[in-house]
Amino acid sequence: MYSAIALSLLGFSTTVIGSLHYFLKVKKNKPPKNPIILMLALAAGVLLGLGAIISGIINMHWSFVFVVLMSSFSIFLGGKFIWVFSQKDTPLGDIEVAIGDKFPQFESTTYDNEIYSTDDLKNQRVLLKFYRGAWCPYCSAELKMFNDMKPTLDRYGVKVVALSGDTAEQAKMHIERDSLDLLLLSDPELKVVKQYGVEHHKALGADSSKTKTVLGLPFPTSFEYKSMSIPTSILIDEHGVIQWIDQSEDYRLRASEERLTQALRNVFTINK
């Protein structure tokens, strides 16, 4: 029975360490393109957990309950993460805007439940961000990065406007939870998302009101398939012309601080 206990503990430890290693990188908005360490850790955790349960059944003992609990955690978490990662691809190609276009005007709702019009953005440089929602740990990390980059963005005179399918109440909760000094817009019917052609139909998502915060990141307590934004960043100059667009075929991957800073350098001059 001691071998079953050892296997269950090893599987549990492997799963936890692999997950911590990965999500600490996510927190810095630097998730690995190929999360090999995480995948190996999760697969090992599942196999070790199954091995522990089989060993426990063969050598039945009172400690079998402990083995089942530890092993179930590894199997459940590993299986769930692997399933979620299998949904990471985003369908690109339907975007309705391009570099050199005037950005389409729209109206939306602020996190304070007030009508917001892009007329307020006239003669301003803007980073328009379409994100999945407050439930998404990758979006949370990216918006926190924008928040931390405020001194750099201010030097270039760039205002961040971020929009998702969250309700105004969920957007306000997001701002308070992550201490954001950004303008978050609510587009629950995805009118603006569809206008820009950045809709991900039937993607694996969650309700932004149903999350738990771990390591400073939100994690959904349940999942559902629904339409949402494809993570998209658009730099717009003071003349309303789109100068830079960033999308990825993998919703986990976003422009790093270095890449965004380089885009700002390439597009704008620093405000004196």
DSSP codes joined into one string, 149-209: THHHHHHTTEEEEEEES--HHHHHHHHHHHT--SEEEE-TT-HHHHHHT-EEEEEEE--TT
Q: Which tops the pLDDT comparison, 111 or 54?
A: 111
* Cα distance between residue 112 and residue 185, in whole Å: 9
| Residue 58 scores a pLDDT above 80 | no
The pTM is what? Answer: 0.90
pLDDT band at 271 (very low <50, low <70, confident <90, very high): low
- The reported pLDDT for the residue numbered 224 is 94
In tens, the pLDDT along 191-229 reads 999 999 999 999 999 999 999 999 999 999 999 999 999
Q: What is the mean pLDDT of residues 90-99?
A: 91
Task: Give the per-residue pLDDT at 63.
Answer: 67
Residue percentage of the chain with pLDDT more than 90 = 74
Mean of the pLDDT values across residues 172-188?
Answer: 96
- Residue spans of the domains in the chain: they are 2-85, 107-267
Q: What is the pLDDT of residues 70-81, one digit of tens each?
A: 888 888 888 888
**107-267: CATH superfamily:** Glutaredoxin (3.40.30.10)
pLDDT(139) > 70: yes
**Residue 62: band (very low, low, confident or very high) from pLDDT cuts 50, 70, 90:** low
pLDDT tens by residue, 143-152 = 999 999 999 9
